[in-house]
Structure 1
Amino acid sequence: MKEQNDQSLAYTNITPTQQIIASSAGALLTSFFVTPLDVVKIRLQAQSKPFTKGKCFVYCNGLMDHLCVCLNGNSKAWYKVPGRFTGTVDAFVQIIRNEGVRSLWSGLPPTLVMAVPATAIYFTCYDQLRDILIHHMNNVETASLIAGATARLGSATLISPLELIRTKMQSRTLSYKELTSCIQSSVAKEGWLSLWKGWGPTVLRDVPFSAMYWYNYELGRKWLCQRYNKTEPTFSICFVSGALSGSFASVVTLPFDVVKTRRQIEVGESEVVHSSQKKSTSTWRIMRIIMSENGFSGLFAGLSPRLIKVAPACAIMISSYEFGKAFFRQLNSDRQLKTL
Structure 2
Amino acid sequence: MSNSHLHQGVEVPAWISVIGGSVSGLVSRFVIAPADTVKIRQQLNGNQDKYRGVSRTIRTILHNEGIRAFWKGNLPAEIMYLLYGATQFATYSSLNNMLTQTEQTLNIKVPSSVHALALGSLSGSVSIAISYPFDVLRTRLAANETRQFRSFVKETSEMYYKDGVRSFFRGIQLSITSVAISMGLSFGSYSYFRDLTANTPFESTSGLLAGILSKTLVYPLDLVRRRKHMTYRGSFAHAILQIIAKEGVRGAYHGLTPALIKSAPTTAISFWCYEWTVDWLLSAQDRFN
1:77-226 equivalence runs, <5 A: 87=55, 91=59, 105=71, 107-137=73-103, 138-139=109-110, 140-161=112-133, 163=135, 173=154, 182=161, 186=164, 196-225=169-198
**AA of the residue aligned to 2:236:** T
* Preserved CA contact (<8 Å) 2:124 2:179: yes
In the TM superposition, what whole-angstrom CA distance separates every residue of 1:190-238 from its partner, at most 9, and x where no partner exists? Answer: xxx675321122122111001111111000011111546xxxxxxx734
Are residues 288 and 221 of structure 1, via their aligned partners in 2, closer, same or farther at CA, if it must alter by over 3 Å?
same
Distance 2:99 2:230 in 1: 38
Residues 164-213 of structure 1: per-residue CA shift (max 9 Å, x gap): 6786995983898x998x49x836xxxxx675321122122111001111
Structure-1-length-normalised TM-score: 0.64
1:291 aligns with 2:244: yes
Alignment partners' CA distance in 2, 1:304 and 1:7: 30
CA–CA separation in structure 1 for the residues paired with 2:228 and 2:7:
41
CA shift in 2, pair 1:258/1:107, >3 Å: closer
Q: Write the letter of the residue equivalent to 1:243.
A: L
1:132-166 deviation digits (Å, cap 9, x = unpaired): 21222332222211111111111222223455678
CA RMSD of aligned residues (A): 4.2
* Partner amino acid, structure 2, of 1:186: G
> In the alignment, is the contact (CA less than 8 A) between 1:255 and 1:299 conserved in 2?
yes
TM-score, length-normalised on structure 2?
Answer: 0.74
* Partner SS for 1:173: helix
1:34 and 1:88, CA in 2 relative to 1: closer, same or farther beyond 3 A?
A: farther
CA distance in 2, matches of 1:196, 1:90: 29
Shift of 1:15: 1.8
Deviations 1:9-33 (A, max 9, x none): 6x32x32111111111122221222
State the partner residue of 2:208: 243
- Residue 29 of structure 2 is matched in structure 1 by 31
Q: Secondary structure at the match of 1:280?
A: coil
1:257 matched to 2:257? The reply is: no
State how far apart, in whole Å, the 2-side matches of 1:317 and 1:264 are: 25
Unaligned 5+ segments in structure 1 are: 52-85, 188-192, 229-235, 267-278
Q: Structure 2: which amino acid aligns with 1:173?
A: K
Kindly state the Cα deviation for residue 311 of structure 1 after the two structures are TM-superposed: 0.6
Structure 1 equivalent of residue 146 of structure 2: none
Superposition deviation, residue 318 in structure 1: 0.8
Report the residue type matching 1:299 in the other structure. Answer: A
Structure 2 residue identity aligned to 1:302: G
Q: Which amino acid is the alignment partner of residue 32 of structure 1?
A: F
Deviations 1:33-64 (A, max 9, x none): 21233456678999x9699xxxxxxxxxxxxx
Q: CA deviation at 1:288?
A: 1.9
Q: Which amino acid aligns with 1:121?
A: T
Asked if the contact 1:205/1:256 (under 8 Å) is kept, the reply is yes
The structure in which a higher percent of residues are helix is 2
- What residue is the counterpart of 1:59 in the other structure? none
Shift of 1:109: 2.7
Residues 163 and 7 of structure 1, relative CA distance in 2, 3 Å threshold: closer
* Ranges in structure 2 where 5+ consecutive residues have no aligned partner: 104-108, 142-149
Separation (CA, whole Å) in 2 of partners of 1:165 and 1:91 = 24
Q: Which residue of 2 aligns with 1:270?
A: none
Change (3 A) 1:117 1:42: closer
Going from structure 1 to structure 2, the CA distance change for 1:50 and 1:106 (only over 3 Å counts) comes to farther
1:319 and 2:272 are equivalent in the alignment? yes
Distance 1:335 1:7, change over 3 A: farther
Query: Is the Cα contact below 8 Å between 1:145 and 1:212 reproduced in 2?
Result: yes
Distance change (3 Å), C-alpha of 1:160 and 1:32: closer
Match of 1:303 among 256, 268, 277: 256
- Which residue type is aligned with residue 127 of structure 2? S
Identity %: 21
Structure-2 separation of matches of 1:314 and 1:34: 10
Q: Secondary structure at 1:281's aligned position in 2?
A: coil
Residue aligned with 1:131, SS: helix
